[in-house]
Structure 1
Amino acid sequence: MEQLRHYFEEEFGISDSDWKLFSSKLTRHEFPGKTQLLQKGSIENYLSYIEKGIVRLYLPNENGNLTFGFVFNGAFVSAYDSFLTQSPSEYVVETITDTILWRLCHQDLQDVYTTTSIGNLIGRKASEELFLKKSKRELSLLNDSAEERYLKLFDERPELIREIPLKYIASYIGITPQALSRIRKRIS
């Protein structure tokens, strides 16, 4: 929780009283790799901060799973559209590695919004972070080649990207695992 408190102190200058209330709503959960945090068709009830681990978001389909997001430690993760609307998710949220999350349920977040001076700022920051990641991904799919998308992903988190199976990376950048192998061979 100290990592999260440090993050909030740096980003928001959170007061001790606001932190005390906010942190009282958080619950720590440990999940092994390959654990579904949210199944397709379920309602997302948590906004989570990743203390440690890697999480992926994907659309299951009959031709394989289409990975559209990776979230690393030090960031928020959620099926955020489902969380906001409290409607069933169209996709799956799953851990790739052993993961530690600090979770805040939907109702508790609403309480934080109304009872702290900094709650809305925290909610806005989490929303902005998730939105920016989504926009960056969409623009990359429209503007960059598969090789450029791979290199950007590798540049962003080289120490963690080694933990993501290549089939997930290939799906994320929109190519087959065989095409990714050719890209990796060409750039090495």
Structure 2
Amino acid sequence: MISRFSHFFKQQEVPAKTTLLQEGQISRTMFFIEKGCLRTWVNNDGKEITTQFFFEGDRVASIESFRTNRPSLYSIESLEPCILQTISQKDFRDIIENSPELRKELEEHLFKRLLHSQQLFYSYLKNNPQERYQELIKQYPHIVQRVPQHYIASYLGITSVSLSRIRNRR
């Protein structure tokens, strides 16, 4: 279905460690990951806290900012060299207004993001770091090969040393 709208997309190749959106900026682009890995993160008094990882087939934007024109609550950064398909906020709105199928797909995408956020929130309330790590590698088995350990530790809310201990217990 997206192929019908391919003329709206622009390919962008970015190296690893590229900031695609800085926390506090307004999100004007949505990224579809063709190849590579992105993460979202927040700055907490100079300490980066990873909030989510995205891989091939995922789409990423600070959707709240993208839809409301308010400053983004988080940054988006590439962890690997990436090939991305990008679409502007204006083009995306035009497509959504003229395509009920894509509007439904967006609703489904937003629901999945909400569900993921809720699962993560409750995991932090109920599970210890080892259980959170096990959930993460169950959901993304390839993550330990592709994502540096300090980002995984940040995502889990622990230090790299604690993550090493958890991984050595397995």
The alignment yields a C-alpha RMSD, in angstroms, of 1.6
Does the alignment pair 1:64 with 2:59?
A: no
Identity of aligned residues (%): 33
CA contact (8 A) 1:153 1:161 kept: no
Deviation at 1:176, TM superposition (A): 0.9
* Unmatched 5+ stretches in structure 2: none
Q: For 1:69-80, list aligned pairs within 5 A.
A: 69-80=52-63
CA contact (8 A) 1:76 1:130 kept: no
CA contact (8 A) 1:37 1:93 kept: yes
The answer to which of 95-104 and 134-143 deviates more is 134-143
Which of 18, 22, 26 does residue 43 from structure 1 map onto? 26
Secondary structure of the residue that 1:132 maps to in structure 2? helix
Q: Distance in 1 between matches of 2:111 and 2:151?
A: 25
Deviation at 1:63, TM superposition (A): 4.8
* Unmatched 5+ stretches in structure 1: 1-13
Opposite residue 98 of structure 2, the aligned amino acid is T
Deviation at 1:184, TM superposition (A): 1.0
Which of 71, 77, 80 does residue 88 from structure 1 map onto? 71
Correspondence for 1:32:
15
Correspondence for 2:98:
115
Q: For 1:119-130, list aligned pairs within 5 A.
A: 119-130=102-113
Q: TM-score, normalising length from structure 2? A: 0.91
Opposite residue 25 of structure 1, the aligned amino acid is F
Instruction: State the 4+ residue runs in structure 1 displaced beyond 6 angstroms.
Output: none
Q: Distance in 1 between matches of 2:129 and 2:114?
A: 22
Q: Distance in 2 between matches of 1:76 and 1:130?
A: 11
**How many positions carry a matched residue from both structures?**
170
Secondary structure of the residue that 1:37 maps to in structure 2? strand
Q: TM-score, normalising length from structure 1? A: 0.83
Does the alignment pair 1:182 with 2:150?
A: no
After superposition, give the CA deviation of every residue in 1:64-98 in whole Å (9 maximum; x if it has no partner). 21111111111111111111211111221101011
Opposite residue 165 of structure 2, the aligned amino acid is R
